[in-house]
Structure formats: C-alpha cells, structure tokens
C-alpha cells in the first residue's frame, strides 16, 4: 500500500542551474509553478547546491574566488500548494534533509572580499575552501583535520513568493538603503534586482523579463517570507509557519546545508550541498490574521545534536570593535569580537585563521545574544562544542601541536594566513 514517496523535483548535477526549468533564482510572484503539492501529501524535492554546480571537489579555491553571484541561489519550485490563498499560513513540516546519494560531499567557502565577502572579510580578504565528506550523519574534511561532527542538516532557504506589493516594498527599502549608505562601504550593502543571469524557472517572454527586471535577489532573508534565513535549527522534524501572499503560496526551497554554525559567518558558510528535502504541508486558513503572523515562525524538531551544555567552550564578545572603538549596543560587533577571540584561541593548536573561519562557519556553533541592554555594550557568546575535535581543546589540556595542513586556497596563493589583532 505504502508507495515510495513522490519526487516533485529532480535535479541534474552536471547541467548549469539556469538550464534546469524546475529551479529558479529570483523571488517574484510570476515565476511559474514547477509542480503542485496537495496539503497532507509528503513529497521529496531534490535541490541543487546554491550555486548550481559552480563548485568542485578539489583542493583549490579558484572556483570560490571566481563564483558568479548573479547566478544564485538556485531554488526548487515554486510549488503550488493546492488551496493556499493570500492570508493563509502555510505549515511546512521538514520530514528529512539528506545529501544526494550520488554526490556525498559538500563545501564551505570564504569568498574574496570583493566578490561576496563575509563577516570577517576585513581580516581575511582572500578566497578559501574546505571540502567535506558526508558519510551518514557525519562530516569530515581533509582541509580541517581532527574535526568530525554530525550534521544539523537544514534548508538555508525556505519561503513563499512575495505578492507584487510586497516585492515592491522590498525593492524600495533596499534601494533606499543603498542610496543612503553605499558610499560608506566598499562592498555592496544590498543586491538590487539584476537582470543578468536571472533564471525565472520555466518562464519565457514577458514574464521572464518582468522577473528579471523586478525579481528580488535571494541573498537576504526577509521578514515577510523568511527566505534565506539560514537558521541551523530549522532541521529535521521542524515545523515552520509561513505567511502566504499569492494563490498557491509558491513555496520555494533550496540552499541545503549539511551543517552550519550560528551566524554562518563566512557567507558561503555552511556545508553547502546538493540534496533532497522531504516535506509535508498543511494550511491554516486565514492564519496570518489569527496568528498575527508577519514573519515566519517555527518549532524545531526533537532530533538534534546533543552535546550537553558543559561540552561548549564559550567565548564572550562585547561591542567594542577590533580597533578598540566603543560601539553602541551593537550585537553584530559583539559577535564579531567573539569570533575573533575564538580564532585567537584555536590558532594555538596549529590551524590557520582561514581554517578556523571555515570551522566556525560550518560546525554547529552556538551564537547567543546574551545581553542587549547594558549600555553601551551588547554581549554575545559563541560556544564551540569541544566534542567535534578528536583532541581536548579545553583550557586545562596541554597543547599537543599536530599536523593541521591547510584549507584549499587559490592556486599559487602566497598571502598571509594569520591576522594580527591588536
């Protein structure tokens, strides 16, 4: 009686993403439905890695350096959830996420400062990469020796399509930001609609043109639909509650992560992979009003990595920046300081800074907002599970230097792998 679960999307790992009409890379209400899913039906959805096959399993970071960020993220869908109407709450239960059996590896990358960048690009402006082997629940990397952990596996992106008016608001407010502050930044503060390499799924003609002209980029998560929320705990068994803005909801999903640390600090910062997600949907009719649902919410699953609270070495970070300048209640600055403290600590074991940056980005790191009111300092914490290392990293343990190799770098790279903090 019980048949195999239906696949609503399959992907091709050889073909560029934009040649696959069942995926798309912009948010727009007019991207055509890829498939229909019935509420109550459990389905499987294959997803490309977010770059649509741009990254290779090798020991050089050239592909990361030269990644084409107009091409991302390739999302499966959008799906027509039968019966969904604007104002509803779409409930998506994440039954499972798995890497594809035919490609059991993933990657974590550090983009160069001027092509993508990341949270610490001021100190680490060059490209780097770590390839992870995915064996069952475990990830290991030849570029990060002596580390192994179970994946807190999840979709980086899950969201419904914006309505035309929601889309318009996105473009306006991000445009305003760009107008206001871009001149103070040497990397983009926002990515506005970009016609080049827009992939509107199966759309053609005027629809495709509209999507290209107006379609919101997939990089930021946004309050209205979640999207690229990159929440590591949105893992197996989670139930998420998404606002619906268009008929059929137009659910899209992708950017699957085998694992990620809180903050996903290197930006290409999870263990990025092609994979398959199994979901089951239902509708709470009129749920946006009855639940006062303006942004997604979720209930995590009951199966997650459990290290025990005493197995986290935890660094404190405050909102005094790396130049010693006092910032005002800035949790972002505070979290950056916690990251720096962790790098300085872990470096003692022989890892280079780029390796640690990749590690903090991809392993199940806990990043908390501890206090946000003690003017002028915000305090954040960054907790590293000590059990992901096969040696003891705790303060009392003696340091036994081991061969730590290196992460993948750009061919011929000769740049400094360590940053000296004041």
Chain residues 44-103 in contact with a second copy, contact rule CB under 8 A: 57-58, 89, 91, 94-96, 101-103
Any contact of residue 168 with a second copy (CB under 8 A)? no
- Asked if 317 touches a second copy (CB under 8 A), the answer is yes
396-415 residues near a second copy, rule: CB under 8 A = 396
Return the bridge partners of 222, or none. 226
Q: Which of residues 218-257 bind a second copy (CB under 8 A)?
A: 219-223, 226, 228-233, 236-237, 241
Q: How far is the CB of 125 from a second copy (least distance, A)?
A: 15
Distances in Å between the Cα of 124 and the Cα atoms of 22, 340, 401 are 36, 12, 23
What are the angstrom distances between the C-alpha of 216 and each of 167, 191, 197, 248, 312?
Answer: 7, 8, 13, 19, 38
Footprint of a second copy on residues 192-211 (CB under 8 A)? Answer: none
- In terms of Cβ atoms closer than 10 Å to its own Cβ (0-12, 13-18, 19+), residue 278 is middle
Nearest distance in Å: CB 204, a second copy: 30
CA 5/CA 27 separation, integer angstroms? 28
Quote the least distance from Cβ 266 to a second copy, whole Å: 7
Complex with a second copy: residue 23 or 330, whichever CB lies closer: 330
Nearer to a second copy, 24 or 236 (CB): 236
Smallest gap from Cβ 257 to a second copy, in A, equals: 11
The closest alpha carbon to 51, from 78, 65, 69, belongs to 69
Q: Which residues of 218-233 are buried (b: 16+ CB within 10 A; e: fewer)?
A: bbebbebbbbbbbbbb
Count of CB atoms situated within 10 Å of the CB of 391: 13
Q: For residue 208, give the H/E element and its range.
A: helix 205-214
Q: Which is nearer to a second copy, 30 or 163 (CB)?
A: 163
Q: Choose the binding region for a second copy from 24-32, 80-88, 182-190, 194-202 (rule: CB under 8 A).
A: 182-190
Closer residue to a second copy, CB minimum distance, 30 or 121: 121
Q: Residue 377 interacts with a second copy (CB under 8 A)?
A: yes
Span 101-120, contacts to a second copy by CB under 8 A: 101-105, 118-119
Sign of the four-CA dihedral 257, 20, 246, 219: positive
The single-letter DSSP state of residue 203 is -
The two beta strands, 6-9 and 42-47, are parallel
Q: Which is nearer to a second copy, 32 or 104 (by Cβ)?
A: 104
Q: What is the CA radius of gyration of the chain?
A: 21
Tell me if 354 contacts a second copy by CB under 8 A.
no
Nearest distance, CB of residue 19 and a second copy, angstroms = 24
How many residues bind a second copy (CB under 8 A)? The answer is 129
CB of 240 to a second copy, least distance (A): 9
Residue number with CB closer to a second copy (74 or 241): 241
Interface residue with a second copy, options 55, 150, 246, 360 (CB under 8 A)? 150
Distance set, CA 137 to CA 109, 230, 304 (Å): 21, 20, 11
Min CB(2)–a second copy separation in Å: 4
| CA gap 259, 173 in Å, rounded | 31
What character string, x for contact with a second copy (CB under 8 A) and - otherwise, covers 357-376? ---------xxxxxxxxxxx
- Interface with a second copy by CB under 8 A: which range of 29-37, 205-213, 214-222, 410-418? 214-222
């Amino acid at each position: 009686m019980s048949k195999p679960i239906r696949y609503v999307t399959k992907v091709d790992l050889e073909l560029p993403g934009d040649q696959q009409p069942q995926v798309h890379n912009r948010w727009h209400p007019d991207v055509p439905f890829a498939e229909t899913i019935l509420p109550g039906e459990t389905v499987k959805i294959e997803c490309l890695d977010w770059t649509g096959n741009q990254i290779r399993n090798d020991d050089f970071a050239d592909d990361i350096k030269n990644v084409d960020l107009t091409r991302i993220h390739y999302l499966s869908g959008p799906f027509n959830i039968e019966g969904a109407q604007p104002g509803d709450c779409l409930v998506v239960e994440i039954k499972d996420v798995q890497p594809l059996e035919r490609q059991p590896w993933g990657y974590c990358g550090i983009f160069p400062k001027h092509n993508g960048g990341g949270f610490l690009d001021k100190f680490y402006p060059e490209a780097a990469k770590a390839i992870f082997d995915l064996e069952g629940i475990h990830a290991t990397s030849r570029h990060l020796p002596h580390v192994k952990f179970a994946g807190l596996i999840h979709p980086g992106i899950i969201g419904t399509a914006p309505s035309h008016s929601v889309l318009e608001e996105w473009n306006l407010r991000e445009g305003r930001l760009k107008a206001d502050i871009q001149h103070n930044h040497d990397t983009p503060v926002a990515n506005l609609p970009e016609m080049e390499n827009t992939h509107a799924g199966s759309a053609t003609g005027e629809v495709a043109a509209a999507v290209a002209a107006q379609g919101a980029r997939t990089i930021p998560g946004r309050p209205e639909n979640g999207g690229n929320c990159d929440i590591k705990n949105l893992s197996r068994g989670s139930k998420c509650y998404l606002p619906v803005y268009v008929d059929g909801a137009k659910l899209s999903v992708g950017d699957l992560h085998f694992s990620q640390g809180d903050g996903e600090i290197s930006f290409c910062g999870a263990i990025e992979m092609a994979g398959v997600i199994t979901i089951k949907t239902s509708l709470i009719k009129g749920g946006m009003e009855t639940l006062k649902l303006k942004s997604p919410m979720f209930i995590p699953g009951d199966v997650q990595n459990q290290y025990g609270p005493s197995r986290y070495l935890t660094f404190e970070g405050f909102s005094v920046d790396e130049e010693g300048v006092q910032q005002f209640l800035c949790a972002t600055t505070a979290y950056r300081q916690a990251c720096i403290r962790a790098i300085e600590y872990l470096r003692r074991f022989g890892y280079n800074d780029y390796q640690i940056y990749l590690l903090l980005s991809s392993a199940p790191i806990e990043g908390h907002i501890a206090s946000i009111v003690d003017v002028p300092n915000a305090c954040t914490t960054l907790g590293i599970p000590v059990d992901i290392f096969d040696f003891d990293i705790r303060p009392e343990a003696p340091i036994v230097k081991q061969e730590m190799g290196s992460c993948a770098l750009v061919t011929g790279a000769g740049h400094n792998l360590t940053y000296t903090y004041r």
